Amino acid sequence: MNDTLVIIPTYNEAHNISRLMDAVLALEPDIDVLVIDDGSPDGTADVIKHKQTEYPGRINLIQRNGKQGLGTAYVEGFKYALDNDYLFICEMDADFSHDPRDLPSLIREVKEGNADVAIGSRYCKGISIVNWPLRRLILSYGANLYARIITGLPIKDTTAGFKCIHRKVIEALDLDRIISNGYAFQIEIHFRAWNAGFTLKEVSIIFREREEGVSKMSKSIVREAVWRVWSLKFKSLVGSL
């Protein structure tokens, strides 16, 4: 049984997922992958099933009916990781905006005890983003500054979706109380882990805009993040987090 699980939510990533599986599984022999697909109409799940025959036992697939959101996918993935005794649980996008070659450094920080949550950060050493339009960059940077000021989180990339988390962090969180479902989910995971006394550490990465497929960003995702940070802060102050 391998000790590391990389969780990858997908929706219409048929053009990316096969190459990504190859890149991730070539890194280290003790890494497994869990793909959670929300009923992609482009056949993403079929690509994954074919890939499972190439890597027996190392690629796992959960198929869900329709788009249920990023947050619920990761919560389901976390529960799967706990049920299957993984020690190191990673989050990663399917579109190559997260470079698989950065995974080992994130995992190593947690394995060596330097952090309980190692975060692939776009902002801890200036701005490390390639091919984003200025409007998107301003929105992301401003959102992270906003979240940081309100929550007090000691990290610059509060919305980062590329990370490695020690099992003990997931065990300590009440997963059924996590209600964020867009990019606010990442803020909530970081805040809950930090509030519980776990150590967060940022590792600088270069984030690249996707080359294939369509971004999942929407106005509803932005609105959720705007008010969720206030909810998290208030709940922490009254002891109901």
pLDDT of residue 182: 79
pLDDT of residue 219: 64
Give the DSSP letter string of the chain: --SEEEEEEESS-TTTHHHHHHHHHTT-TTEEEEEEE---TT-HHHHHHHHHTTSTTTEEEEE-SS---HHHHHHHHHHHHHHTT-SEEEE--SSSSS-GGGHHHHHHHHHTTS-SEEEEESSTTS--EES--HHHHHHHHHHHHHHHHHH--S-S-TT---EEEEHHHHHHS-GGG----STHHHHHHHHHHHHTT--EEEEE--EE--SSS-----HHHHHHHHHHHHHHHHHHHHT--
Q: Which residues of the chain have pLDDT under 70?
A: 210-222, 225
Tell me the pTM: 0.93
Please state the domain count of the chain.
1
CATH code, 193: 3.90.550.10
pLDDT of residue 223: 76
pLDDT of residue 13: 96
Residue 167's domain comprises 4-238
